[in-house]
A and B are shown apart, each in its own frame.
Chain A
Amino acid sequence: MSLFANFSITPRQFGDAISDVLPALRRALTAAIVPILGVVMFVVVWTIAAGSIQTSLGQFPNPASVAQQTVNLYQEHQAEREKAEAFYQRQIERNAARLAKDPNYPAKIRPYTGKATFIDQIQTSLITVLAGFGLAAAIAIPFGIMIGLNKALYTATNPIIQLFKPVSPLAWLPLVTMVVSALYTSDDPLFAKSFVNSLITVTLCCIWPMIINTSVGVASINKDWQNVSRVLRLPPLVHIKKIVLPAAIPSIFTGLRLSLGIAWMVLIAAEMLAQNPGLGKFVWDEFQNGSSQSLSRIMTAVLVIGLIGYLLDRVMLQLQRLLSWNKASAQR
């Protein structure tokens, strides 16, 4: 009873609390069990399968080696950061010492040119994909609205859209590279050419679902709402602003969500060939490297790529739930 003396609750209240929490806990566990079982099964199958595949670069990576490499990659990242810190520190001290001797000394500030770590590469990939996706959205949404509103424009552009929609990023990349080399000529470019190449390739591949979904959303407005607009005699611009655009938002978001998934997939492929310092390049380099750890590191990258893709989709879904009025279209 000393326990209850300290907390000043009765044994009955304690018992009630337990019996309220337990069912909820049980529900949560039951809900989590099946997915957990699924993952455990997958890990087991993976380990067994990996054990029986021997490649020229060693055993196929199993969950243990992937876990090991994840730790390694993070540690390498931290080591690199420490080296960069030390470098800048030395630079500051050197400059301070020189300035103390000679106040007119122009301090030399050089950037640290170390290797890009795995975390840096993740960052680069994310920036590139969001830039490419953003550029595609900026073009696709206004264009999609225009062709959705005008049947003639739609019929004129539809063949071109259908023709370019299935083209793989790997087919676009050589053309994009040549064009960018020719046009993006400056001595001190703000963006690396590899970044621009990857960005444009991502845009070229993920723009089509956005255009199609936007135009369909704009063109197929519920007949009843059109009738409301007709009875009210809404002028064309007011009709577009107050009826067409809000009605099309769920479709536009569906297009955005589809396109983001495509953009992420395209990015990894584009980075491999364009040598943009992101996850794609990481995979390519590891493959070229051919060390005993390479396959495990590539497998780690595969899992990270999948996880980031999943997270991007979830973020988009949340945005859709916030901004789109049609709750049904943002269920899962």
Chain B
Amino acid sequence: MSVHLDISHIDMVFPTPQGEFTALKDVNLKIKKGEFISLIGHSGCGKSTVLNIVAGLTQATKGGVLLNNKEVTEPGPERAVVFQNHSLLPWLTAYQNIELAVTQVFGRKKSPAEMRDWISHNLELVHMTHAMHKRPDEISGGMKQRIGIARALAMEPEVLLMDEPFGALDALTRAHMQDSLMEIQDTLNNTVIMITHDVDEAVLLSDRIVMMTNGPEATVGEILSVDLPRPRDRIALAKDPLYNQYRSAVLTFLYEKQRKVETIKGSASSTKPRVAAA
């Protein structure tokens, strides 16, 4: 399969009062259509920056992102974003929040009846039909995030970008949301980049796990291919030796190879990362 999303030689330099700060250096990643990629790494290593660059919300200092071999520099609905803080508009109901996205993207292409059906379909996909006329302050955190996902999916994006979408939720809700996400992925087969801190989540959901080195000058450290058959059942996987192998590979990277040591200002991070063939 050809490359769907090509993140190519990304550098990100921020000007600060203390001089230039290089957050990312030479980040490269090629993603195939329908792949589920997890981006994992320590806090502050630049994962969100990479996602924002792919989304077009930030401009890279060097390098670029190619979607279907065309460069993308602006945000757009074909790279839909699910934000960490759901970002629902509080004065609109759940239905109206999705409607805003759908009218904007499909205003000219679908009839009002088709749009209504499409919105209902997406609400159904995230199991939120019962709450469609509620305002964000009337629903729980998990429900808000479901609506956020529904809104992103309703744009029929080429790539779904998720910035720690379940980070603000408790463990039980997170488990439900992960199951819902796998169900949706099963149906729609989107290309997804998801940022997460949770190792179990990464191994459970992804096709490949991209592990980033520590900042500054963060880059892709290792890429782990997760060859577990789908559909994946977390209870069964808990006893699966292959699952545990993957888990320990990620944990080793994060906690041994890329240990966050309190470095003296200016010195390099603890070890040099190994770059696996992507």
A→B interface (CB under 8 Å): 224-225, 227-228, 230-234, 238, 242-243, 246-247, 249, 325-327
A228 touching B87 by the CB < 8 A rule?
Answer: yes
B83 touching A227 by the CB < 8 A rule?
Answer: yes
CA separation between A175 and B172, bound complex, in Å? 69
B56 partner residues in chain A, CB cutoff 8 A: 230
Chain A to chain B contacts (Cβ below 8 Å), 28 pairs: A224-B83, A225-B87, A225-B89, A227-B81, A227-B83, A227-B87, A228-B89, A230-B56, A230-B57, A230-B75, A231-B57, A231-B76, A231-B77, A232-B100, A232-B104, A232-B105, A232-B155, A233-B75, A233-B104, A234-B104, A238-B104, A242-B100, A243-B89, A246-B89, A249-B91, A325-B91, A325-B135, A326-B90
A224 touching B104 by the CB < 8 A rule?
Answer: no
B105 partner residues in chain A, CB cutoff 8 A: 232
B87 touching A224 by the CB < 8 A rule?
Answer: yes
Known: A228-B83, A242-B100. 9 other contacts (CB 8 A): A224-B83, A225-B87, A227-B57, A227-B75, A227-B83, A231-B80, A233-B75, A246-B91, A249-B91
Evaluate whether A231 and B75 lie within 8 angstroms (CB atoms) in the complex, with A224-B85, A246-B91 already known: yes
Contact with A along B58-89 (1 / 0, CB 8 A): 00000000000000001111011101010101
B83 partner residues in chain A, CB cutoff 8 A: 224, 227-228
A94: min CB distance to chain B, Å:
62
A243 partner residues in chain B, CB cutoff 8 A: 89
B80 partner residues in chain A, CB cutoff 8 A: 231
B240 at interface by CB-CB < 8 Å: no
B77 touching A233 by the CB < 8 A rule?
Answer: yes
B91 partner residues in chain A, CB cutoff 8 A: 246-247, 249, 325
B85 (CB) vs chain A CBs: closest residue: A224
**Which residues of B from 91 to 110 have beta carbons under 8 Å from A?**
91, 100-101, 104-105
A233 (CB) vs chain B CBs: closest residue: B76
A316: min CB distance to chain B, Å:
20
B77: min CB distance to chain A, Å:
6
Evaluate whether A327 and B137 lie within 8 angstroms (CB atoms) in the complex, with A225-B87, A233-B76, A246-B91 already known: yes
B89 partner residues in chain A, CB cutoff 8 A: 225, 228, 243, 246-247
A238 (CB) vs chain B CBs: closest residue: B104
A224 partner residues in chain B, CB cutoff 8 A: 83, 85, 87
A326 (CB) vs chain B CBs: closest residue: B90
B101 (CB) vs chain A CBs: closest residue: A232
CA separation between A228 and B55, bound complex, in Å? 11
**Which residues of B from 234 to 255 have beta carbons under 8 Å from A?**
none
A300: min CB distance to chain B, Å:
44
A249 partner residues in chain B, CB cutoff 8 A: 91
Evaluate whether A232 and B57 lie within 8 angstroms (CB atoms) in the complex, with A224-B87, A227-B87 already known: no
A183: min CB distance to chain B, Å:
42
B203: min CB distance to chain A, Å:
29
A279: min CB distance to chain B, Å:
39
CA separation between A325 and B136, bound complex, in Å? 11
A168: min CB distance to chain B, Å:
38
B85 partner residues in chain A, CB cutoff 8 A: 224
B57 partner residues in chain A, CB cutoff 8 A: 227, 230-231
A230 partner residues in chain B, CB cutoff 8 A: 56-57, 75
CA separation between A326 and B77, bound complex, in Å? 28
CA separation between A224 and B243, bound complex, in Å? 36
B35: min CB distance to chain A, Å:
21
A164: min CB distance to chain B, Å:
33
A227 (CB) vs chain B CBs: closest residue: B57
CA separation between A243 and B91, bound complex, in Å? 10
B76 partner residues in chain A, CB cutoff 8 A: 231, 233
B135 (CB) vs chain A CBs: closest residue: A325
A327 (CB) vs chain B CBs: closest residue: B137
CA separation between A99 and B155, bound complex, in Å? 80
B55 (CB) vs chain A CBs: closest residue: A231
B2: min CB distance to chain A, Å:
25
A84: min CB distance to chain B, Å:
50
A228 (CB) vs chain B CBs: closest residue: B87
CA separation between A187 and B77, bound complex, in Å? 64
CA separation between A4 and B83, bound complex, in Å? 66
A232 touching B77 by the CB < 8 A rule?
Answer: yes
CA separation between A238 and B100, bound complex, in Å? 11
A227 partner residues in chain B, CB cutoff 8 A: 57, 75, 81, 83, 87
A322: min CB distance to chain B, Å:
13
Closest 6 CB pairs of A and B: A224-B87, A325-B91, A230-B75, A231-B75, A246-B91, A232-B104
CA separation between A231 and B159, bound complex, in Å? 12
**Which residues of B from 120 to 170 have beta carbons under 8 Å from A?**
135, 137, 155
CA separation between A81 and B148, bound complex, in Å? 64
CA separation between A246 and B91, bound complex, in Å? 7
B104 partner residues in chain A, CB cutoff 8 A: 232-234, 238
A231 touching B137 by the CB < 8 A rule?
Answer: no
CA separation between A171 and B89, bound complex, in Å? 44
CA separation between A163 and B137, bound complex, in Å? 40
CA separation between A234 and B100, bound complex, in Å? 10
A277: min CB distance to chain B, Å:
43
CA separation between A249 and B90, bound complex, in Å? 12
CA separation between A234 and B76, bound complex, in Å? 10
B79 partner residues in chain A, CB cutoff 8 A: 231
CA separation between A277 and B177, bound complex, in Å? 67
